[in-house]
Amino acid sequence: MDFIRNFPLFTIVLSLFSGVLCTVFKGRTARIYTAVYECFLTALVSCVLWYTMKTGTSFTYVMGEFPAPWGNEIRAGTLEAVIALLFLVVLFSSVVGGWNFVSTDIDESKINLYYGLINLMTAALMAMTWTNDLFTGYVFLEILTLTSCGILIVREIGRTTLAAVRYMIMNLLGSALFLLGVVLLYDITGHLLMVPMREQIGLLIQDPGNRMILTLAVGILTIGLGIKSGLFPFYFWMPDTYGWATPTSASILSALVSKCYLFLLIKIYWRVVGIDMFQQMPIRNLLLVLGMCGIVFGSLSALRAGNINRMTAFSSAAQIGYIYMGIGIGGEIGYTAAIFHIFAHAVTKSMLFLTTPRLAAVSEDSLLFRKLTGSGLRDKNAGIYFMVSAFSMIGIPMFAGFSSKIMFGVAAVRAGSVREMVMVIIVLALSSSLNAYYFIRTIIRLYTRSDPGRRVRPVRHRLSYNIPMILLTAANLLLGLGSVAIVDMIQRGLEMFS
Amino acid sequence: MKKQKITAGERFRRWLDGETDIMESLMDFNENPYVSHHEAKENKRIRNRRIDESTSAKRMMSAERKGFRVMYSVVAVISCVSLIGVLLFVLANLPRYGVENPRTVEVVSRYVEKGVSETGAVNIVAGMILDYRAFDTLGESHVLFTALVCVMILLRKDRKNMSGVMDDYYTIAKERFHEISTESILRLVGALLIPCIFVFGIYVLLNGQNGPGGGFSGGAVMGAGFIMASASFGFDRVDRVITQKLSAFIAFAALSFYSFAKGYVFFTGANGLENHIPKGTPGAILSGGLILPLDIAVGIVVAFTMFGFYSLFRRGNIGGQ
């Protein structure tokens, strides 16, 4: 067996170990360790990606001496590897890009605990990406839930505590529903690993009564993960959660945590339920409608927000809606669009959440729009980074957002019925114009002089802020210009799924 | 002025609305003893008014207008009832376990039939969670640790969550606490019970592979022992054994031992190498391969976590400096 096949195991076990290790370090050491460690993991995962591309197949890895239906298993294919790579790049950028704020937002005695939580979260993200077992997914989902509450409350101001309580209630509800779904699936199939479970489901659905039960079980599971990732009626925790957390946390929570739940959901649809089976379920139509509602209402709420972070957070709700819309359109092309949008949004939103506090820092520490006037001139770099990410959100050509919007359009034309196509195109047009309206309005505000008489001296940044931002910009441009290569990888990965 | 009589129902309604605290009259240690009752009430009134006048509270109140409230409760009831209905429907229509679909028992029967010979543990549950599905349990023990870290972030005293007033409150509470614990029944009973609790905890912990028990339950019993000790003898005594540094280090050592031991088993198992861990004879104390050491590691983490929760809630710190 090739040695590279062990790397997914290393990413999980070493991250768990690092999480515990950081809690005994001092704050500064933990910070440097985390950054170096993320680089190391990125290298490991790149090797796995290269390996799966070279061999053209996925591989399963038995955890221990007991094979498939008895012991645990993880699995690595192109899609898992490329998603894990995305997660690690964004994690690295968030950790490094936000670390000046960490030392002001967090009490010094707790910085090591914070980085410990980040490492535990890395382990959970990796395990949920690689997992080939539904219950392993649940265990690491618990770690992800707890760590995301932890990195939220660590700022210790009243608002984050309030937001964390709300976030935790929603998340626990989601976890409980997900667990119920898993239990029901386990009861009817007798397996927890994805492959034997799917075989059993294939046998069971011949009976129409079982088909009904299966639909309900998958529906409960979908609602659970939908609540956790912010599907339409459940997105009202987003603005407080993302708006008040320390920038690193906000960026990780919006860009990675919700995406991880979405990826698990897609994996379950493909590997447990089977995509052909899922296409016939009414859940698909429900997701399409809820996704569209999310897009429209999220954009409208973003339009009304008076604070730049709230606006960005509500636009996250709209972007999650896009991903659900892609799942709702269905077919390989719909899923490709949805997964591509996971990439585009993760790269863009993390950049936005790392930029807005910089703009606030030169505007009397206020995130209100009226105070932000002219902040793009006071902090030139942050202004440019904001512009790049805003362009990507709007969908200007060359940037990631453009490619994903095109793909949603193409998916609607090719895969759906005429009615679906018309609806999707209308929603896309509406949301793009709303997006353009509120982001361009913000950009204009950033570059309007607040008092024309005074000469402003722009702020200079350290490399620790510029490097991750340039990395994310490069990733954004790569997704925008080289979308063909990424789409090819996603499609290969999806083929390996079925 | 005539004093208005408040019925129990009225008081319950007020508590539901968040106007009063039912426990208010029952608990005394929330009040500063140097402030008279009347003065404290006046202070509370002023504080409440200040909260009411803040913009965010106003916004919240306007959002919770009466219409919204009625609709909210109606929607909540409907969604709960429909969820219950769906779940009952699913339950009523589940295929009969193992009969309609005989392959559902495939996994379970292997655990029951071959569990003892394959894992070396008489307790099949221990064999299952620590050998067959050890990866899930590895995650689960880190869930506990994560919870401990979160509680530490929330409750450990630091410059941000402690204002001067609260500091006074803590020192007062601490002094009073020791006053109570010097001569009490608790102390006597504690002295009798604590050794038994620890012995029982260690028994449960070490016996995990042969009978009911294991790391989680044994650790919980031992954690209860620590809690009992600190409740009856005061934190000062316990702090001589468990310092902050020591507890952090022990948790670190136990969990990293767990990760690496299991990492080794996963690595050798997946690569088809021989792992040099003897299984032992089922039923003996040294049996079940890694199950016993892992149980000890888990037990230590659980005991520290439980004591940590208690200690953090009680005084905002784990262990002495």
**CA A151 – CA A142 distance, rounded (Å):** 14
Find, among A85, A133, A59, the residue nearest to B271 by Cα: A59
Instruction: Return the half-sphere exposure (C-beta side, CA atoms, 13 A cut-off) of residue A95.
Output: 27
**CA A201 – CA A280 distance, rounded (Å):** 14
Per-residue DSSP letter, A327: H
For A235, the token pair is 């997105």
> What's the maximum distance between 2 C-alpha atoms anywhere in chain B?
88
Residue at A219 is within a domain: no
Q: Using CB atoms, which residue from A70, A113, A187 is nearest to B153?
A: A113
For A56, the token pair is 């053209």
For A282, the token pair is 């009414």
Tell me the sheet residues that pair with B320: B243
Task: Determine the structural domain holding residue A364 and report its residue range.
Answer: 281-498
Residue bearing tokens 């079980």: A217
Residue at A440 is within a domain: yes
In Å, how far is B266's CA from the nearest CA of chain A? Answer: 4
Residue type (1 letter), B99: V
Tell me the sheet residues that pair with A63: A72
Q: Using CB atoms, which residue from B104, B161, B263 is nearest to A189?
A: B104
| Chain A residues touching residue B263 (CB < 8 angstroms) | 9, 13
CA dihedral A270, A274, A278, A279 (to 10 degrees): 90
**CA A397 – CA A401 distance, rounded (Å):** 8
Q: Is A417 helix (H, G, I), strand (E, B) or coil?
A: coil
* Axis-axis angle for helices A111-130, A7-24 (nearest 10): 160
Phi-psi region of B102 (alpha: psi -120 to 50; beta: other; left: phi over 0): alpha
- Do the beta carbons of residue A120 and residue A15 sit within 8 Å? yes
**CA A237 – CA A486 distance, rounded (Å):** 32
**Helix H segments across chain B?**
8-16, 37-53, 55-63, 66-93, 106-119, 124-127, 134-155, 164-181, 185-206, 215-233, 235-241, 244-271, 291-315
Residues with Cβ within 8 Å of A5's Cβ and at least 6 positions away in sequence, in order, are A51, A59, A61, A76, B270
**Helix H segments across A56-157?**
78-97, 99-105, 111-130, 134-153
Q: What is the pLDDT of residue A356?
A: 93
- Do the beta carbons of residue B289 and residue B278 sit within 8 Å? yes
Q: Is B273 helix (H, G, I), strand (E, B) or coil?
A: coil
Confidence of residue B65 (pLDDT cuts 50, 70, 90): low
Residue at A336 is within a domain: yes
Residue contacts between A and B (CB atoms, under 8 Å): 191
Confidence of residue B28 (pLDDT cuts 50, 70, 90): very low
Cα distances from B223 to residues A46, B126, B183, B192, B201, in angstroms, run 43, 20, 24, 17, 9
Give the best residue of A13, A61, A179, A184 to mutate against chain B (max B CB count within 10 A).
Answer: A13
Residue type (1 letter), A356: T
Residues with Cβ within 8 Å of A265's Cβ and at least 6 positions away in sequence, in order, are A222, A225, A226, A229, A327
Q: Using CB atoms, which residue from B101, B135, B140 is nearest to A72?
A: B135
Q: What is the pLDDT of residue B27?
A: 44
CA dihedral A130, A134, A137, A138 (to 10 degrees): 180
Q: Average pLDDT for consecutive 10-residue bins of chain A (498 residues)?
A: 90 95 92 95 95 91 85 92 95 92 89 95 96 94 95 88 91 95 91 90 84 91 94 88 92 94 94 89 92 93 89 93 92 92 95 92 86 87 93 92 92 84 92 92 89 72 88 94 91 89
| Chain A residues touching residue B60 (CB < 8 angstroms) | none
Sign of the CA dihedral with B283 first, then B286, B292, and B297 last = positive
In Å, how far is A24's CA from the nearest CA of chain B? Answer: 6
Q: Is A43 helix (H, G, I), strand (E, B) or coil?
A: helix
**CA B197 – CA B116 distance, rounded (Å):** 30
Residues with Cβ within 8 Å of B297's Cβ and at least 6 positions away in sequence, in order, are B141, B215, B254, B255, B257, B258, B261
Q: What is the pLDDT of residue A325?
A: 94
Residue B31 reports pLDDT greater than 60:
no
CA dihedral A296, A299, A302, A303 (to 10 degrees): -100
Residue at A341 is within a domain: yes
Number of domain units in chain A: 1
Find, among A441, A479, A429, the residue nearest to A295 by Cα: A429
Q: Using CB atoms, which residue from A1, A140, A213 is nearest to B90?
A: A213
For A389, the token pair is 């990410």
- Do the beta carbons of residue B15 and residue B22 sit within 8 Å? yes
Residue at A408 is within a domain: yes
For B314, the token pair is 């009680």
Q: What is the ipTM of this complex?
A: 0.92
Confidence of residue B1 (pLDDT cuts 50, 70, 90): very low
Find, among A97, A93, A11, the residue nearest to A46 by Cα: A11
| Chain B residues touching residue A180 (CB < 8 angstroms) | 87
Phi–psi pair at A63, nearest 5 degrees = -90, 90
Give the best residue of A7, A10, A12, A20 to mutate against chain B (max B CB count within 10 A).
Answer: A20
For B156, the token pair is 């450990």
Phi–psi pair at A99, nearest 5 degrees = -75, -15
Confidence of residue B29 (pLDDT cuts 50, 70, 90): very low
Q: What's the Rg (C-alpha) of chain A?
A: 22
Residue at A13 is within a domain: no
Q: What is the pLDDT of residue B30?
A: 43
In this predicted model, what pLDDT tens digit does every residue of B36-64 receive, in sequence order? Answer: 666 767 777 776 666 666 666 666 666 56
User: With an 8 Å Cβ cutoff, are B136 and A9 in contact?
Assistant: no
- Do the beta carbons of residue B306 and residue B226 sit within 8 Å? yes
Q: What is the pLDDT of residue A489?
A: 92
In this predicted model, what pLDDT tens digit does every residue of B175-207 receive, in sequence order? Answer: 555 555 556 788 888 889 999 999 999 999 998
Residues with Cβ within 8 Å of A394's Cβ and at least 6 positions away in sequence, in order, are A401, A432, A435, A436, A439, A440
User: Angle B115-B121-B122 (CA atoms, 0-180°, nearest 5)?
Assistant: 85
Phi–psi pair at A61, nearest 5 degrees = -130, 120
| Chain B residues touching residue A13 (CB < 8 angstroms) | 138, 259-260, 262-263, 266
User: With an 8 Å Cβ cutoff, are B251 and A149 in contact?
Assistant: no
Residue B26 reports pLDDT greater than 50:
no
Look up the pTM and report it: 0.89
In this predicted model, what pLDDT tens digit does every residue of B12-24 receive, in sequence order? Answer: 666 555 555 544 5
Q: Please, is B72 exposed, middle or buried when counting C-beta atoms within 10 Å of its C-beta (0-12, 13-18, 19+)?
A: exposed
B109-124 in b/e burial notation, b at 16+ Cβ within 10 A? eebeeebbebbbbbbb
| Chain B residues touching residue A9 (CB < 8 angstroms) | 263, 266-267, 270
Find, among A184, A343, A347, the residue nearest to A262 by Cα: A343
User: With an 8 Å Cβ cutoff, are B270 and A9 in contact?
Assistant: yes
**CA B225 – CA B223 distance, rounded (Å):** 5
Per-residue DSSP letter, B2: P
**CA A8 – CA A83 distance, rounded (Å):** 13
Q: How far apart are the first and last CA of chain A?
A: 24
Q: Is A62 helix (H, G, I), strand (E, B) or coil?
A: strand
Q: How far apart are the first and last CA of chain B?
A: 56
Residue at A300 is within a domain: yes
In Å, how far is B249's CA from the nearest CA of chain A? Answer: 7
**CA B169 – CA B172 distance, rounded (Å):** 5
Residue at A428 is within a domain: yes
Q: What is the pLDDT of residue B172?
A: 55
Q: Please, is B200 exposed, middle or buried when counting C-beta atoms within 10 Å of its C-beta (0-12, 13-18, 19+)?
A: middle
DSSP result, B49-116: HHHHHSHHHHHHHHHT-HHHHHHHHHHHHHHHHHHHHHHHHHHHHPPPTTTTSGGGGHHHHHHHHHHH
In this predicted model, what pLDDT tens digit does every residue of B86-125 receive, in sequence order? Answer: 999 988 888 877 777 777 788 888 888 888 888 888 888 8
